[in-house]
């Protein structure tokens, strides 16, 4: 067999497949714009995977059989198909970001622009995932993860196919082996590392390969296929069943499902059945081949590219979820831009002959990559007018810190208290303020860890050594069903034993601060907390409970004038919320006081609420007291120490003694 430079042949056009593309893209757009209405709309991406695998494999298989497959022509066609719309959307995004984004946001956009041009967005997003990662809704190029999966498949699959054809193996056996290996890896990984399973090409390729299997069946088992497709009742049944499966997926699967996993079989099988039914099946002919539906299919790629940046930029500008009218307007604008892109950019370049435009597109992609790298390595050009004329001074931006909380872990702590899974867990807190034995332990989850900078930098506590370690709640309760969580399954008991051992073998620890307790603790949590206090007091430590603090429930960036939003959100709330928190939390305090009257309680809302004017604020002295929807900023942690020191002087003066408490 030879691989020549003759022109690639292409399969006969099927309007119903474009119609299926329309179903896929509109479900994704609906999910992103109105997630409560279309909870499972994200499976439209998986429908795209099947369609792509089917069409690409049909082209590859047919041309390999004829000896007309050409790598250069194959990839030239990919460039002309993908690059025009992609480069346009990336260019508009990075230009708009110059005027609309803050330095940390723009820096992230630069990074994601590079990843988008290089078709590795899925790998970059995989690497970014973590406890303090920015919300998906604030990443305008997040949706390019799926394009990364597809292009990685387009790079590897033709090479493997050429190898299969040259070596004359049983191709169906090799194809099935690839599907099985990828699917099994997906099932194996989904509960241990859901993020990796979602973004990894190795756990996603099976979806595209199902399309390849369908292409193989159609091409090499024509008599079998013809037998079915001549039976109108059978193909109508296949198509109807495929639609019912997809409908079930749209309504039943949600973002909390272990996806892809077994759940991804729903969109994959549904899409396979609909494509296999052929263009003459009733639903395929009457619905999918309808001119309006086909039109949406034709603009599906630019529509997919445009809709997410528009919705995300809108959310960033609004500093919260936009109202329905604005989201609907963004959807209509994305449809208009998709049509204009298809008609005046994508369509003309796609239909050009030979290698015309290929060199220009590659050159433009290099320029865009370099532009993204400049934005990233220049830290988002913090001196831009858009930033300097907003309320976001360097100090304000520092307090937000983005996805990187500076006090997660340090080498001093990690070397003294190595934990077996510290490098593989989704998050792990381990901070120690010096080399002396620890005297104050911050115990709890991220809400205990957020106290660390204040305690570590408090001049009146400089003789103390602060240790913040562990990630679970005070009572070591399960943190949900996230397999990446350090508090998932048996990891809870492992971590509890690890921290208990530290306390037992470290007599220098004289004070334990408990924070991160639920505002409305259940009876089970109260029992676990009391059990914890039992253990701590038996070790001879003084226990201090920090009451829950108020939380904004929205990103505090909304409290500041931003580049395109000159009227910030009112970030003053009634102190009634403080009273409500104390009322909800009181059952735990009452129970603890009955069994352990020596436990002290520090009401930390004084830093947020003014008892005189009856107001609580998320901003103080022009700086944010929160770095996200619930966690306090470093500035708040430092301010809190002023209140804590005054309180401690009358309630626990020994913590302020000049000599270390352990001596």
Strands (E), 608-648: 609-610, 615-617, 619-620, 623-624
CA nearest neighbour of 129 among 552, 626, 633, 482 = 482
Tell whether the model's pLDDT for residue 141 goes beyond 90. yes
CA nearest neighbour of 121 among 153, 97, 151, 96 = 151
Structure confidence at residue 171 (pLDDT): 85
Interacting residues of 603 by C-beta distance below 8 A, sequence separation 6+: 547, 582
* 195 neighbors 131 (Cβ within 8 angstroms): no
Confidence band, pLDDT 50/70/90 cuts, at residue 570: confident
Which residue bears the tokens 């436990």? 599
Tell whether the model's pLDDT for residue 662 goes beyond 90. no
* 448 neighbors 467 (Cβ within 8 angstroms): no
Q: Vertex 355, ends 352 and 358: CA angle to 5°?
A: 95
CATH number for the domain that contains residue 454? 3.40.50.1110
- Is 476 part of a structural domain of the chain? yes
d(CA 537, CA 522): 23
Interacting residues of 513 by C-beta distance below 8 A, sequence separation 6+: 440, 441, 442, 443, 444, 448, 451, 455, 544, 546
The pTM for the full model equals 0.86
- Is 489 part of a structural domain of the chain? yes
The neighbour count for residue 89, using CB atoms within 10 Å, is 25
Q: Looking at the structure, do residues 258 and 133 belong to the same domain, yes or no?
A: yes
> Among 388-397, 577-586, 632-641, where is mean pLDDT lowest?
388-397
Average pLDDT over residues 169-194: 90
pLDDT tens, 481-512?
Answer: 666 677 777 777 888 888 899 999 999 999 99
| SS3 assignment, position 475 | coil
Domain containing residue 168: 15-387
pLDDT tens, 356-381?
Answer: 789 999 999 999 999 999 999 998 99
- Is 8 part of a structural domain of the chain? no
Last residue of a domain, one of 332, 358, 387: 387
CA nearest neighbour of 317 among 658, 561, 52 = 561
- Is 383 part of a structural domain of the chain? yes
Average pLDDT over residues 100-104: 88
Tell whether the model's pLDDT for residue 661 goes beyond 70. no
d(CA 204, CA 209): 9
* 313 neighbors 100 (Cβ within 8 angstroms): yes
Q: Looking at the structure, do residues 329 and 414 belong to the same domain, yes or no?
A: no
Count CA atoms closer than 13 A to 274's CA, side-chain side: 33
Q: Looking at the structure, do residues 199 and 122 belong to the same domain, yes or no?
A: yes
Last residue of a domain, one of 333, 356, 387: 387
Tell whether the model's pLDDT for residue 142 goes beyond 70. yes
> Which uninterrupted H or E stretch holds 490?
none
> Among 136-140, 227-231, 525-529, 565-569, where is mean pLDDT lowest?
565-569
d(CA 450, CA 443): 11
| SS3 assignment, position 340 | helix
What is the share, in percent, of the chain residues with pLDDT greater than 70? 94
Q: Looking at the structure, do residues 288 and 412 belong to the same domain, yes or no?
A: no
Q: Looking at the structure, do residues 427 and 282 belong to the same domain, yes or no?
A: no
| SS3 assignment, position 623 | strand
- Is 313 part of a structural domain of the chain? yes
Average pLDDT over residues 79-83: 94
Q: Looking at the structure, do residues 412 and 282 belong to the same domain, yes or no?
A: no
Q: Looking at the structure, do residues 183 and 289 belong to the same domain, yes or no?
A: yes
Interacting residues of 566 by C-beta distance below 8 A, sequence separation 6+: none
Which residue bears the tokens 């370099």? 370
CA nearest neighbour of 549 among 603, 496, 610, 614 = 603
Structure confidence at residue 119 (pLDDT): 96
Tell whether the model's pLDDT for residue 265 goes beyond 50. yes
Tell whether the model's pLDDT for residue 655 goes beyond 50. yes
- Is 494 part of a structural domain of the chain? yes
Q: Vertex 198, ends 429 and 274: CA angle to 5°?
A: 160
Task: Tally the domains of the chain.
Answer: 2
- Is 459 part of a structural domain of the chain? yes
Q: Looking at the structure, do residues 410 and 371 belong to the same domain, yes or no?
A: no
Q: Which residue has the higher pLDDT, 24 or 607?
A: 24
Average pLDDT over residues 67-72: 90
pLDDT tens, 317-358?
Answer: 888 888 899 999 999 999 999 999 999 998 888 877 777 789
Confidence band, pLDDT 50/70/90 cuts, at residue 20: very high
* 80 neighbors 67 (Cβ within 8 angstroms): no
Structure token pair of residue 218: 């159609």
pLDDT tens, 38-65?
Answer: 899 999 999 999 999 999 999 999 999 8
Tell whether the model's pLDDT for residue 128 goes beyond 90. no
pLDDT tens, 405-444?
Answer: 788 888 999 999 988 766 666 677 899 998 999 999 999 8
User: What is the Cα 190 distance to its own chain's centre?
Assistant: 15
Q: Looking at the structure, do residues 524 and 554 belong to the same domain, yes or no?
A: yes
| SS3 assignment, position 99 | helix
- Is 208 part of a structural domain of the chain? yes
Q: Looking at the structure, do residues 172 and 245 belong to the same domain, yes or no?
A: yes
Which residue bears the tokens 């005297």? 439
Q: Looking at the structure, do residues 377 and 329 belong to the same domain, yes or no?
A: yes
Q: Looking at the structure, do residues 421 and 356 belong to the same domain, yes or no?
A: no
Last residue of a domain, one of 387, 422, 442: 387
> What sign for the dihedral angle of Cα 291, 296, 301, 306?
positive
β 623-624/430-432 pair status = unpaired
């Amino acid at each position: 067999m030879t691989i020549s430079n003759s022109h690639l042949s292409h399969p006969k056009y099927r309007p119903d497949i474009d119609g299926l593309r329309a179903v896929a893209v509109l479900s994704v757009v609906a999910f992103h714009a109105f997630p409560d209405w279309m909870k499972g709309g994200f499976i439209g991406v998986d429908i795209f995977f099947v369609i792509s695998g089917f069409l690409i494999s049909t082209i590859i298989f047919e041309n390999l059989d004829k000896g007309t497959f050409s790598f250069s022509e194959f990839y030239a066609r990919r460039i002309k198909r993908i690059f025009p719309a992609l480069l346009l959307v990336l260019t508009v995004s990075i230009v708009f970001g110059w005027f609309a984004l803050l330095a940390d946001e723009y820096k992230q956009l630069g990074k994601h622009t590079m990843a988008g041009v290089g078709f590795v967005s899925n790998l970059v997003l995989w690497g970014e995932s973590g406890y303090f990662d920015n919300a998906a809704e604030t990443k305008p190029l997040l949706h390019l993860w799926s394009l990364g999966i597809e292009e990685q498949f387009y790079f590897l699959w033709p090479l493997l196919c050429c190898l299969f054809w040259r070596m004359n193996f049983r191709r169906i056996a090799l194809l099935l082996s690839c599907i099985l290996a990828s699917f099994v890896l997906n099932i194996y990984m989904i509960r241990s590392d859901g993020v990796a399973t979602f973004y990894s090409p190795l756990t996603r390729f099976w979806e595209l390969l199902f399309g390849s299997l369908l292409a193989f069946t159609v091409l090499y088992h024509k008599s079998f296929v013809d037998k079915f497709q001549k039976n109108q009742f059978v193909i109508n049944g296949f198509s109807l069943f495929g639609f019912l499966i997809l409908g079930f997926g749209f309504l039943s699967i949600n973002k909390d499902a272990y996806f892809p996993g077994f759940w991804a079989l729903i969109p994959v099988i549904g899409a396979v059945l609909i494509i296999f039914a052929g263009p003459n099946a009733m639903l395929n002919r009457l619905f999918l081949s309808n001119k309006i539906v086909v039109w949406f299919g034709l603009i599906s790629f630019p529509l997919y590219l445009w809709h997410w940046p528009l919705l995300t930029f809108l959310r960033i500008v609004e500093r919260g979820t936009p109202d329905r009218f604005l989201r609907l307007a963004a959807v209509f604008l994305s449809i208009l831009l998709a049509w204009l892109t298809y008609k005046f950019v994508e369509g003309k370049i796609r239909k050009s002959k030979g290698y015309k435009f290929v060199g220009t597109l590659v050159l433009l992609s290099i320029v865009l990559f370099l532009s993204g790298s400049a934005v990233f390595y220049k830290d988002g050009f913090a001196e831009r007018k858009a930033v300097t004329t907003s309320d976001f001074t360097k100090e304000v931006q520092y307090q937000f810190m983005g996805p990187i909380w500076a006090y997660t872990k340090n080498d001093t702590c990690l070397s003294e208290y190595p934990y077996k899974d510290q490098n593989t867990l989704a998050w792990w807190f381990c901070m120690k303020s010096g080399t002396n034995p620890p005297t104050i332990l911050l115990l709890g989850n991220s809400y205990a860890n957020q106290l660390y900078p204040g305690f570590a930098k408090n001049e009146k506590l400089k003789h103390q050594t602060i240790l913040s370690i562990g990630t679970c709640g005070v009572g070591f309760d399960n943190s949900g069903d996230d397999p990446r969580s350090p508090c998932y399954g048996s990891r809870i008991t492992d971590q509890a034993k690890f921290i208990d051992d530290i306390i037992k073998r470290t007599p220098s620890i004289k004070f334990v601060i408990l924070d991160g307790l639920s505002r409305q603790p259940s009876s089970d949590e109260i029992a676990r907390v009391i059990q914890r206090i039992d253990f701590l007091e038996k070790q001879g430590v003084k226990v201090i409970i920090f009451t829950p603090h108020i939380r904004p429930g929205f990103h505090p960036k909304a409290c500041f004038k931003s580049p395109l939003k000159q009227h910030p959100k009112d970030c003053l709330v009634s102190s009634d919320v403080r009273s409500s928190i104390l009322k909800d939390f009181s059952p735990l305090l009452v129970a603890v006081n009955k069994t352990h009257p020596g436990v002290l309680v520090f009401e930390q809302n004084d830093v947020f609420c003014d008892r005189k004017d009856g107001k609580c604020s998320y901003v103080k002295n022009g700086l944010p007291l929160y770095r996200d929807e619930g966690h306090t900023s470093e500035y708040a942690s430092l301010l809190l120490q002023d209140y804590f020191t005054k309180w401690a002087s009358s309630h626990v003066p020994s913590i302020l003694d000049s000599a270390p408490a352990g001596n």
